[in-house]
Amino acid sequence: MASFSIGIESVSPSAPSFTTLRVAEPELTTANSLSASTTALPTPSYRLPGDLRPEHYTLEMKTFLDGENSRFEGRVLIKVNCEKDTSRVVLHSTDLLLNTDKVRVGDKEITGHEFDTQNEFYIIKLKEALKSGSKYVIEIPFEGNLTTSLKGYYRSSYQDKATGDKKWVATTQFEAIDARRAFPCFDEPAMKAVFQVNMIRRKGFTSISNMPLAKSVQLEDDWFRDEYVESVRMSTYLVAFVVSDFAHLESNPGNTTFRVWARQDAIEQARYSLEIGPKILDFFEEYFNVPYPLPKMDMIALPDFSAGAMENWGLVTYRETAMLYEEGVSDLNAKERVTSVVAHELAHQWFGNLVTMKWWDDIWLNEGFASYVQGLGTDHLIVLIIGYLVLRMLNYFLGEETFRRGVGRYLKTHKYGNAVQDALWASFEEQSRDDSARDSSRKEAPRDATVKEIMDSWTLQTGYPVIHVMRNYEAGTAELTQSRFVTDWLGRSSDDRESLWWVPISYTDPSNALLDMSTKPRFWMNTSNATLAGLPKKDQWLLLNVNATALYRINYDAENWDLLATALRTEKNHGGIPTLNRVQIIDDAFSLAKAGLLEYNLALNLLRYLRLEKEYFPWRAAFKNLEYLSRMTQRGGGFGPFRKFVRTLLTPVYNALDEPFKPSVAVDTIPQMKLRAKVLDWSCSYGVSDCEEKAVALFKTWQKQSEDPDVVNPIPVELRGLVYCKAVESGGEPAWDFVWKRFLGSNVAAEKSKLLSALGCAREMWLLHRFLDMSLNETSGIRKQDVTRVFDLVATSSRGFYIAKEFLFSRIKDIHSYVSPDFSQVGDYIEGVSRLMSTKNDLEQIKQFVELNSEYLNDAKYAVKQAKENVELNVQWHSRYYPTVIQWFSSFASKESSTSPDGRPHGTMGSIALVLVLFTASFACGQEIVSAASEPLSTSTAASVESDLSTANSLAASTTASPVAASNATSYRLPENLRPEHYTLEIKTFLEEDNFRFEGRTLIRVICAEDTSKVVLHSRGLNLTTDDVNVTDNATGHNLQIAGHEIDAENSFYIIHLSEELKSGHKYIIDIPYTGALTTNLAGFYRSSYKDKATGTTKWMGVTQFEPVDARRAFPCFDEPAMKAVFQVNMIRRKGFTSISNMPLAKSVQLEDDWFRDEYVESVRMSTYLVAFVVSDFAYLESTPGNTTFRVWARPDAIAQASYSLDIAPKVLDFFEDYFNVPYPLPKMDMIAVPDFSSGAMENWGLVTYRETAMLHEEGVSPASSKESVTRVVAHELAHQWFGNLVTMKWWDDIWLNEGFATYVAALGTSHAQPTWNSLEDQMTESLLTVFSVDSLQSSHSVSNNIKNANEIWQLFDAISYSKGAIILRMMNHFLGEGTFRRGVNRYLKAHQFNNAAQDALWACLEEQAQLDSAKDPENKSAAPGRATVKEIMDSWTLQTGYPVIHVMRNYEAGTAELTQNRFVTDWLGRSSDESLWWVPISYTDPKNALLDISTKPRFWMSTSNATLTDLPKEDQWLLLNVNATALYRINYDLKNWELLSTALRTEKNHGGIPGLNRAQLIDDALDLARAGLLEYSSALNLLRYLRQEREYLPWRAAFSNLAYFTRMTRRGAGFGPFRNFMRTLLTPIYEELDEPLRARTADDTLPQTKHRSQILSWSCTMGVSDCEARATALFKTWQEQSEDPDVVNPIPVDLRGVVYCAAVKSGGQPTWDFVWKRFLGSNVGAEKGKLLSALGCAKEMWLLHRYLDMSLNETTGIRKQDALSVFYSVARSSSGFYVAREFLFTRIKDIHAFFKPKFNRIGRFVGAICESMNTEYDLNQIKSFIDLNAEYLRDSKLQVKQALENVQLNAQWHSQHHKTVTEWLSSHANEQYFA
Ligand SMILES: [Zn+2]
């Protein structure tokens, strides 16, 4: 049997694992010796007992070919010879139904039947024993099914081209142990017998078998019996028969009749085999000197065949690609392949068939020999079997003649029998002796060992040797040592050190090389050491193993390696080093480097000579090794330099191709042709010159031609593989579909195979998903025989790897059952996916996978073991060599210029040339060994995590550190016995390289409310100078005695223990001097920096960020919001810097040297978290339009960008003074744009800090949307000056009051400042959509939330606080009415100003106001019927989690509707019994009212679970609740009302009068109700179709946020195709309506219009609508290619830059990426930088994404820490980036955690971003185990993580419940253009 891996074709081996001889084994520790030693053991139980031996079989098979019901009936008569008395007949039978009633054993009485399924035995028990020496006939009738298992007697099929009918074929595949699946037999190779076969078949079919037909008899009806001549004596595994309607060709050139069989449509393609078959057979007859023993030879090409071919005696079966060849369609590779496979199978007719191994442990004799002689027969050897190399070595040392005669001797001695390897050695030994005796001139090299001794050292030991050569250049000698070569040199076992081989040593040097190329060994080395003498002088190289005829590696000393490298590179003709040795040098150097025996630099250096190499074979060896490097680098940033290096190597040889894509001409040799194909393949993949462009253009000529592409194909056949691949890669779905159609249409197997390969090149992830799905379904058109191949194709590409891994891991069960019964194929999957695995995480994953799925891996144990080892080796490689190798590539690529040497590939290579290539191909394949001692990867990150704790509160000497465990729930809160009144804070700031720190002193005046001897306050990360701490009585000046200091790190407490008590009513001054570090952690007092454009220097600043709990990082304080006090701040700063703080500067005093003290006015009473100070060299702009002085601060380079804020802020402040009716309490307002800032902005009183993008705006560079966000953020922060600063929540659990209020009134403020923006509607829609989505999780939380510890505070700064807070305040505004609401708020602010309040205080004020207003004006609408108190209503919204859905069931007759309310949760089925009820303000309208009255006032309050509406419109009119979506509830209507609404939306003018906000809600409700299972998806999607008529911004926006969910759910599978098509139909009308899609905004465009255009374009480009992407990339190119400086002139309209950049980066590869990256570094505008940064995540090349994520954790790259999360989002949101991002998070969580210290809660967002897209059970398990394993890093993100996890659960639920329905619906509606 031939199991090949040739060229691009890789055929899976199908032999059972115990006979599998993988070529790569020898380097692995798991490898076995060639000849396994099972024979030495007692007969194992799985072997037949041996008491009966078969002599003769008569086998009759009746074949029923009826599609799925195909089956056979058979009867076998076996004449056996009894060699030992026995009362049991034991033979093999599997999966056959035996008719035991009719079983006969001679005339013996049968007492029972037994089946031993384990050993596949059928046992017949007899009453009396069979007698030794007697013969018996065993008769067994049986039947079986013809399955598609590709084993035993199975069925195959093909489609008849003419009729389109499916035709069926029955055929056999028995090796090694599947004859027993076709008929009961003694199924061991040594149980040889004679076979007489009768095939009963229907008319219209032909049968064939091993022997010629004797006669054919017609039976009843259409049935015939074909009787065959008796066979020679043979093994069961060589029996074969086929029933088919195939055609055949015949020829009789000599004694043997040759016939070739194939499908009728393909029979012409068999002509080549018919031509070469007889020639090859002739050659072998002569070579072996034994005639072919049968009168005929049939060869048949089968459509489904698991191996490459099978050597059944006289009837060889082939996979189509291995036998069929069509001139002009198949390429020369295919011709070569056919030739070598035919030769291999014909060689087996002697080696294997005539003489068979005794048992499978000597299978190598069959395979090795067949491979070896096949080479002789074809001139081109292609084998992957080590036995071949060993035999070849034998040939070399015995000499050709002796070898040949020895073989003949062996065959004659053992013909029709079986033999073990010793018999072969004996034949050679005898022959050698005879020949030497006869001919004294015979030149066999001197050897003092027998053939057996020598060969045993090669066949019984595992592996092969490496010879270490250490030259003594003075003495002209060299010491040789030998040991076993293993890649895992350190981890090799001691056995390996002791293995010794008989190594034939030959060598040469520069002077001999040109004269004497003798490959004869100069001596035999069988010891561990030897010495060579008489070697050349110092400057001349030494080369061992001339022409690489023997199987060993050589490791020279470094000097000799250098000499070789120089010879290769500089001298003519490579210094005379033969081609085969160049091959060996390349492969040795890399293998030795991998094993740690040679410096990688040296190996890489050697490779540089390739720029001069013109021959195929050295290139091939190089490609093989480069491929390994490519696998090891492509999942990281290292791929860039590597690719550059490869390009440099390839460019000269590429350029030397006169016309790269021309068809080959007759004079081209196969190696020339192959070199061209290979060089082009690599050149195109590595971006050399115009290679890819040319390939794609060539493909297009095919696609666009007018001829039928299935008939006419202009692409040269030998280049098709690579052209197809490149076209599919860049062509997306259309190219894929085109190739797929050709695949289905092609009739030529070799062509089909190329097309199939190309399909794996797709770049779009979903296409790969779909491809893999299709591979497990034969109806798709992919044959089962190709299943592992498809997987392999996908798994070995950098992006397919992730998909393949996921596919294998999540679908192992399906795969297992699909490949049944050849379960060993599961091993091929594992092997395929292991190749790119190189991280510890990969290793863990594969181990875990193997552990969890052992039941499916039983038949693949060996492959699994090897795969694990390979991954371990890759991991080892990565940690040991990756940095060196990448560094080398980087420096090489920057040095080497690409000079192009002339000359073209030349020279043919004889058969021998291939040997080493095989050698190299066989032994590397990326397979290596495990090191026990692998201890890689830096531990620095661990250290840096720890350091947070160790430096957290380092105290001076006198500390008594004893952390106190938190014992009760409130222990993290400060005791209330001391209250601060006044702080004097002095801070000296050092902003110098290597000296970023501050010195501080805090004096706190506290009032004692209760006697205590402890002062407990907050301090974190500060070095307190405890020796100088004082506690003084304010009145008396008495210094209290301090007993000790304590740090409670858990709660960030600093505790001063006093010897005397502080007395209630007294005031004390606490004086604490301290120092702190100015780090870049974005918390407390930290440092930020920017680069000065003019000088290029880095400028530093110090800035604060305290909310919520980081004031304690800047100064010791009572850091709780209710601990308000007055602050007097003094900032000591150097000359050249300015300081600012909350209050105006009082005075500035010069101190010594350059130092100044800036003293600030005392503040109003305020919370610690609002204190702020900044030291910087920033510039500012100032204006004082009213009572308040405004200043805006920014880097000097960016100060002009601050003028918009300066313009808008006073207007907004005015609005709020007016709205709240409370003046702004401070005399000034500073706003500063900080280059590094963790959130958007911070409302510090009087000194608001901003991220640059949130405050700076440059007209013409920043887009309109950025102007909007600046306005919003400014308004938000200014609103906080009242809500939050003036009145502060008592504790953080009411943070929503701050944030919700600021969010709500910011929208009012923005509307006021920019009336055309429609900001209120816009922002409320945004908030509503967010809340609808987030708050529908079971794991959501209530608005007002109990906090259990300080870590949880962070987590409340989420959508619930901001958005839900805002929404319910707006709802309140609507039900109370604007006037009452405003007056109530004013009442609240006045009552609690400079103080703290809880939410109840606000409700009370509003209730009082409402009652006052009602009393004053009875008409006041705030008293909607049935209203409860404000507190009752609002408690239902703030204290309960979630929001309601109102179910509406109309009674159309009665004009009524029943309403019910429940909490809406997406997980409707799994919802807990939630009996929450809300006070829901119900408003509603209908078609008639809609146009007149769209009052949002509630018509009544629903607080119960049921209610009834009456007086509703008639049957054909819709009902709509929640007018203008002012309240927070979803509505689920009855089906009819949904349809009425859908129709209204779609057909009527102006959408039937349904307001825009309601259209948005209807979309969102419908889709989310469907998701929760409360509405049919078909109804929801049906509603969505109206979008073709929708032109407004908000409804589209609602749609997009839902459609983004569909994108995430479908893009990891075949569903994305239909979804995308559906999106195209929705988007096309509106896209086409855009007059000029990419035009700039005009003065007439409103902000919503501008945003709308941008979102439509963004989706259109992503979904491939019309020419969107082409236009975008063209526009980008004008920027790239203009003559102006791109940092100055940018022709892309500002509002569309995000869309355009992303589209360009997506399609542009590294050059575009680098261009955008440069612009990012160069840009001075935050908004622009943000766009560029986000676009960089659009890249499609995986390594760019890997590199990008790596860069994000390293601030020196230019990416600020504040932006790391945006980078992650930008990567995670794309379909290919998702995989990269997930891996990044999973493997680098520790680094991420350390990087964000101390803002650990950021990590929750990383998890959230990934979980969004996870949607399978497998994902769920993965994320769960990730969370379990990394709990320590996720501690501060528990809530987010919980929500993220619930999202994955929901997604998985969705996927299993809805994915299919939705995809089907989408498929059926994808192409509709118009709606009825
Ligand atoms: Zn805020």
149 alpha carbon – ligand 1 mean position (Å): 66
Distance 1298 CA to ligand 1 centre (A): 7
Take residue 1705 and report the two structure tokens written for it.
Answer: 């980066």
Give whole-number Cα distances, 973 to 1004, 1018, 1095, 1119, in Å: 19, 10, 49, 10
Say if residue 1782 is exposed, middle or buried (CB neighbours under 10 Å; 0-12, 13-18, 19+): buried
Confidence label for 386 from pLDDT (cuts 50, 70 and 90) = very low
Please tell me the predicted confidence (pLDDT) of residue 400. Answer: 75
Ligand 1 centre to CA of 1323 (Å) is: 15
Counting Cβ atoms within 10 Å, is residue 1633 exposed (0-12), middle (13-18) or buried (19+)? exposed
CA–centroid distance, 1241 to ligand 1, in Å, is 8
- Which residues neighbour 440 within 8 Å (Cβ) at sequence distance 6 or greater? none
CB 1163 within 8 A of CB 1100: no
Q: Which of 710-714, 1011-1015, 1867-1871 has the lowest mean pLDDT?
A: 1867-1871
Ligand 1 centroid to residue 1299 C-alpha, Å? 5
Name the catalytic one among 320, 336, 1277, 1846.
1277
Residues 990 and 998: their CA atoms lie apart, in Å, by 6
Instruction: Dihedral sign for Cα 1089, 1091, 1092, 1095, please.
Output: positive
Largest CA distance in the chain: 135
Q: How far is the CA of 1274 from the centre of ligand 1 (A)?
A: 10
pLDDT band at 491 (very low <50, low <70, confident <90, very high): low
- Residues paired with 1484 in a beta bridge: 1521
Q: Are 1424 and 1481 in contact (CB under 8 A)?
A: yes
Q: What is the pLDDT of residues 1545-1577, one digit of tens each?
A: 987 678 888 888 999 999 999 999 999 889 999
8 A C-beta contact, residue 1275 and residue 1339: no
Residue 1117 has pLDDT above 60, yes or no: yes
**At 149, phi and psi to the nearest 5?**
-75, -10
Residue of 1488 and 527 predicted with greater confidence: 527
The whole-angstrom separation of Cα 642 and Cα 631 is 11
CA–CA distance, 109 with 123 (Å, rounded to integer): 14
- Rounded to 10 degrees, the C-alpha dihedral 1773/1775/1780/1783 comes to 90
What's the 1361 CA to ligand 1 centre distance in angstroms?
A: 10
What does the pLDDT average to over 625-632?
Answer: 89
* Phi/psi at 944 (5° precision): -75, -25
Contact yes or no for 1554/1531 (Cβ under 8 A) = no
Burial of 343 (0-12, 13-18, 19+ CB in 10 A): buried
- Centre of ligand 1 from the C-alpha of residue 1248, in Å: 11
- Window from 417-431, 788-802, 1380-1394 with minimum mean pLDDT: 417-431
Do 1550 and 1353 touch, CB atoms closer than 8 A? no
End-to-end C-alpha distance for the chain, whole angstroms: 62
> What is the predicted pLDDT for the residue at 576?
82
- Residue 843 CA to ligand 1 center (angstroms) comes to 45
Q: How far is the CA of 1800 from the centre of ligand 1 (A)?
A: 20
Annotated binding site for Zn(2+): 1276, 1280, 1299
Name the pTM for this structure: 0.77
Question: Is 928 known to be catalytic?
Answer: no
Query: What local confidence, expressed as pLDDT, does residue 368 receive?
Result: 61
* 1348 CA → ligand 1 middle, Å: 22
C-beta pairs of 1431-1434 under 8 Å, 24+ apart in sequence: 1431/1400, 1431/1403, 1431/1404, 1431/1407, 1432/1479, 1433/1372, 1433/1375, 1433/1479, 1433/1501, 1434/1368, 1434/1372, 1434/1399, 1434/1403
% of the chain exceeding 90 in pLDDT: 42
DSSP notation for 445-467: PP-SS-HHHHHHHHHTSSS-EEE
Q: How many CA atoms lie within 13 A of 1737 on its CB side?
A: 27
DSSP per residue, 1121-1172: TT--BEEEEEEEEETT-EEEESS-EEEEEE-STTEEEEEEPPP-SB-GGG--
- Residue 966: what pLDDT? 37
CB 584 within 8 A of CB 545: yes
Q: Give me ligand 1 centre to Cα 1302, in Å.
A: 6
Average confidence (pLDDT) over 1421-1439: 79
Q: How far apart are CA 1557 and CA 1525, in angstroms?
A: 6
pLDDT digits (tens, 9 = 90+) for 333-366: 778 778 878 888 888 888 888 888 777 766 666 6
Q: What are the Cα distances from residue 624, in Å, to 115, 561, 609, 631?
A: 49, 21, 16, 11
How is residue 361 written in tokens? Answer: 């442990």
pLDDT band for position 388 (50/70/90)?
low
Beta-carbon count within 10 A of 1486 CB: 15
Find how far residue 944's CA is from the centre of its chain.
Answer: 29
Q: How far is CA 1642 from CA 762, 1639, 1650, in A?
A: 41, 9, 9
Cβ 754 vs Cβ 7: under 8 Å: no
What is the reported pLDDT for 1160?
A: 97
Q: Can you give the pLDDT at residue 5?
A: 32
Reported as a pLDDT band with limits 50, 70 and 90, residue 159 is confident
Give dist(CA 1037, CA 1014) in Å, integer.
19
- DSSP class of 775: H
Q: Which segments within 1211-1302 are labelled E, that is strand?
A: 1228-1234, 1241-1242, 1247-1251, 1287-1289
Q: Is residue 1271 over pLDDT 60?
A: yes
- In angstroms, the CA 1306 to CA 1323 distance is 9
Q: Express each pLDDT in 214-272 by its tens digit.
A: 999 999 889 999 999 999 999 999 999 999 999 999 998 888 899 999 998 889 989 98
Average pLDDT over the chain reads 84
Binding residues: 1276, 1280, 1299
Q: Measured in angstroms, how far is the CA atom of residue 1168 from the centroid of ligand 1?
A: 16
Q: Quote the tokens at residue 61.
A: 């098979």
pLDDT greater at residue 823 or residue 1122: 1122
Q: Parallel, antiparallel, or unpaired for β 194-202 and 52-64?
A: parallel
1284 alpha carbon to ligand 1 midpoint, in Å?
A: 8
Q: How far apart are CA 1326 and CA 1754, in angstroms?
A: 34
How, if at all, do strands 86-92 and 121-130 pair? antiparallel
| Gap between the Cα atoms of 853 and 864, Å rounded | 11
Which has the closest alpha carbon to 1168: 1129, 1204, 1121, 1136? Answer: 1121
43, pLDDT greater than 80: no
pLDDT at 258: 93
Q: Is the pLDDT of residue 912 over 80?
A: no
In the predicted model, what is the mean pLDDT of residues 731-738? 91
Dist. CA 415–CA 356, nearest whole Å: 8
Residue 706 DSSP class: S
For residue 1277, how far is its CA from the centre of ligand 1 (angstroms)?
Answer: 6
CA distance 1253 to 1220: 28
What is the 1252 CA–ligand 1 centroid distance (Å)? 16
DSSP state for residue 1400 in the 8-state scheme: H
Write the CA distances from 541 to 444, 476, 567, 577, 609, integer angstroms. 27, 11, 8, 10, 16
Single-letter residue type at 1874:
Y
d(CA 300, CA 259) in angstroms, rounded, equals 8
Question: Among 24, 873, 28, 25, which Cα is nearest to 493's?
Answer: 28
Query: 1512: how many CB neighbours lie within 10 A of its CB?
Result: 17
Assigned token pair, 284 = 């072998």
Contacts of 572 (CB under 8 A, 6+ apart): none
pLDDT tens digit sequence for 96-136 = 999 989 999 999 999 999 998 888 899 999 999 999 999 99
What's the rounded Cα separation, in Å, for the pair 61 and 1181? 99
pLDDT at 796 over 70: yes
Q: From ligand 1's centre to the CA of 1393, what distance in Å? A: 18
pLDDT reported for residue 687:
85
Does residue 1209 contact residue 1255 with C-beta atoms inside 8 Å?
no
Sorting pLDDT into bands at 50, 70 and 90, what band is 1824?
very high
